[in-house]
Amino acid sequence: MSALPNCPACQSEYTYEVADMYACPECGHEWSGLAEAGEGGEKVVRDANGNVLEDGDSVTVIKDLKVKGTSSVVKVGTKVKSIRLVEGDHDIDCKIDGFGPMKLKSEFVKKA
């Protein structure tokens, strides 16, 4: 049997797999199998195709994204340069020409 990772929220060793995700029965935390910890314990962020993203990479948006609070839309194929990886639900901080500072989810971009 392969060793499952400890829960990133409570460090419990009693984790289990559910489809393509992991779950913790002690705290109820669920996380993706693609967002595993790297060698130094830092979170590894991957794009929609599974490529590892790093600070300073350029990415392309793969889906029309509505901008919250406006009627604007970030169109498919929009290139974003010099991304910065951050913790949280939206794990990419960037500036998009014509929109300004934005936070994106890595699942909606691909590495350029």
d(CA 90, CA 111): 16
SS3 108: helix
**CB contact at 8 A, 47 and 111:** yes
- Residue-level pLDDT at 56: 94
pLDDT band at 1 (very low <50, low <70, confident <90, very high): very low
pLDDT band at 35 (very low <50, low <70, confident <90, very high): very low
Average pLDDT, the chain: 85
- pTM for the predicted model, two decimal places: 0.63
Tens digits of per-residue pLDDT, 57-111?
999 999 999 998 889 999 999 999 999 999 888 999 999 998 899 999 999 999 9
pLDDT at residue 12 tops 90? no
Task: Using alpha carbons, select from 86, 51, 21 the residue that is nearest to residue 103.
Answer: 86
**In angstroms, how far is CA 3 from the centroid of its own chain?**
23
d(CA 71, CA 52): 32
Q: Show Cβ contacts of residue 54 under 8 Å, excluding neighbours closer than 6 positions.
A: 85
SS3 12: coil
Task: Using alpha carbons, select from 105, 96, 93, 109 the residue that is nearest to residue 60.
Answer: 109
